[in-house]
Chains A and B, each alone.
Chain A
Amino acid sequence: MSDQPLLKVRNLSKFYGNRIGCNTVSFDLWPGEVLAIVGESGSGKTTLLNCLSTRLMPTTGSVDYHMRDGQYRELYHMSEAERRFLMRTDWGFVHQNPADGLRMTVSAGANVGERLMAIGDRHYGNIRQTATEWLERVEISTDRIDDQPRAFSGGMRQRLQIARNLVTGPRLVFMDEPTGGLDVSVQARLLDLVRGLVNDLGLSAIVVTHDLAVARLLSHRMMVMKDGHVIEQGLTDRVLDDPREPYTQLLVSSILQV
């Protein structure tokens, strides 16, 4: 593991006019680390995620990324071409709704292969081979490789979206409510899968969720957001077992017990 952080976030703020999206957020993300951002709806989690992943321009602040060549680059000083290249090679973005992250009208194999073709892979046999392997890894039967994601269930679509993102071997994956809209048994399988992949590949991930159970299972560290501010951060087990802020205590105590 490297002794330098993968991502250095300093005083990141996003304002929508007078309203706060997120306010002076600073943190480091280390290689191989999974960070969960939790909070209620409207607390600024998704705004923060979008600012980090260059999908949304922050109002102030800086995000430095540790490139593969060992240099730190400020994301918002890169050209758009470089940013987009980074997004489709070294990063992944898993949307809450798989339809946003997949091409629904092309086959599963082409969905997985798209990133390979985008970085210049021009051998059909190799692309298909890689796509087959990735479908196996995310537990999608390989005879579905030529089916369109429209014919897939919600859980399969989400797993396909993950395969599509991981095929280029990214180092950082952003996930926006990856288990939203899935029933609990499918959620459990997906979480198992993601946890396995993160461990195997040594990925770093930033996971936005309102589900503390997801944060507990996946993440090493977590940040609690309220009204655009990070009010508490620390190791996941510490925050969940010994919450310090009154809001975090409320959040933890409001988990439904069955």
Chain B
Amino acid sequence: MSDLATYNFAYLDEQTKRMIRRAILKAIAIPGYQVPFASREMPMPYGWGTGGVQVTASIIGPEDVLKVIDQGADDTTNAVSIRAFFQKVAEVAVTTHTGEASIIQTRHRIPEETLREGQVLVYQVPIPEPLRFLEPRETETRKMHALEEYGLMHVKLYEDIAKHGRIATTYAYPVKVHGRYVMDPSPTPKFDNPKMHMSEALQLFGAGREKRIYAVPPFTEVVSLDFEDHPFEIQTFDKPCALCGAEHVYLDEVVLDDKGGRMFVCSDTDHCETRQAEGHFGAMLATSKEAAE
């Protein structure tokens, strides 16, 4: 070992972790409320999940098992580098299996497998303020949250229906938490919104650049906003996953060639692999196996 300075466990110093934990506790006490915190510089650029990384670093312990996903996948750049980061600075066990993880840091998805009590889901959030694109003034949006003036959120949905004939917002779909605060569920597809409702797991949201932390405690009501005559709906897919044949899961479109060939596969890679190991096969996998034989 060299005598060079080393990092504290999980990179952040203990005072910073304490500050972030206090913000997290406050966020849990007021579901959906955006708690300001003194976001630190992290050794990765803004937009790469600096908020989520700080939250994870503050709650992680040596016994934890970490899973990191990006767009549902365990093997994409963002997921790989954050997982490697925590292996290096915290030496924690990592996994790709949703069921085995105690902390799951995510970008853009909630795993298909239902989360259980004791698990923590940490979201990376780019813009925590759901009203931001309608009301640019932070002073005003804070006042609107404080006074529960949420008519403006429906103006956005109204505009969607007026322009597209239906609510065309497909991600970052606004929700009302515990009947009080309107919250941006980060850019997850609205397909995942129902999973937040009454979830057994603790859900924490970290926005590094915007310096906000918010939370949804376990067993909390999370309702997607809608109109009486245009109720909230999640995306549906015509075909099951091409690899594992799963239905009622969120699928990614993969372009295969320049002749219009494409396939739809599970965005949650762990879910897809688990199903394949259990002997489920989709249309494309079956044909490729036959071709190989």
Contact = CB atoms under 8 A, between A and B. Distances in A.
B196 to A, nearest CB: 21
Interface string A117-153: 1110011110110000000000000000110000000
A103 B155 contact: yes
A63 B161 CA distance: 42
A80 B227 contact: no
A225 to B, nearest CB: 31
Contacts of B155: 103, 106, 110, 113-114, 117
Contacts of A127: 158
B147 interface: yes
B151 A124 contact: no
A103 to B, nearest CB: 7
A50 interface: no
B257 interface: no
Given A110-B158, A114-B155, A123 B147 contact: no
Given A110-B158, A122-B228, A146 B163 contact: yes
B151 A114 contact: yes
A117 B156 CA distance: 11
B228 A123 contact: yes
Nearest to B152: A114
Contacts of B227: 122-124
A80 B147 contact: yes
Contacts, number: 53
Contacts of B277: none
Contacts of A117: 151-152, 154-155, 158
B154 A107 contact: no
B147 A84 contact: yes
B154 A122 contact: yes
Interface in B161-189: 161-163
A115 interface: yes
B152 A124 contact: no
A110 B228 contact: no
A109 interface: yes
Interface in A86-116: 103, 106-107, 109-110, 113-115
B3 interface: no
A107 B159 contact: yes
23 contacts: A80-B143, A81-B147, A84-B147, A84-B149, A103-B134, A103-B155, A106-B159, A107-B162, A107-B163, A109-B158, A110-B158, A113-B155, A114-B151, A117-B152, A117-B155, A119-B151, A122-B227, A122-B228, A123-B229, A124-B227, A124-B229, A127-B158, A145-B162
Interface of B: 134, 143, 147, 149, 151-152, 154-155, 158-159, 161-163, 226-230
Given A113-B155, A117-B151, 13 more contacts: A103-B155, A109-B158, A110-B155, A110-B159, A113-B158, A114-B151, A114-B152, A117-B152, A117-B158, A122-B154, A123-B228, A124-B228, A145-B162
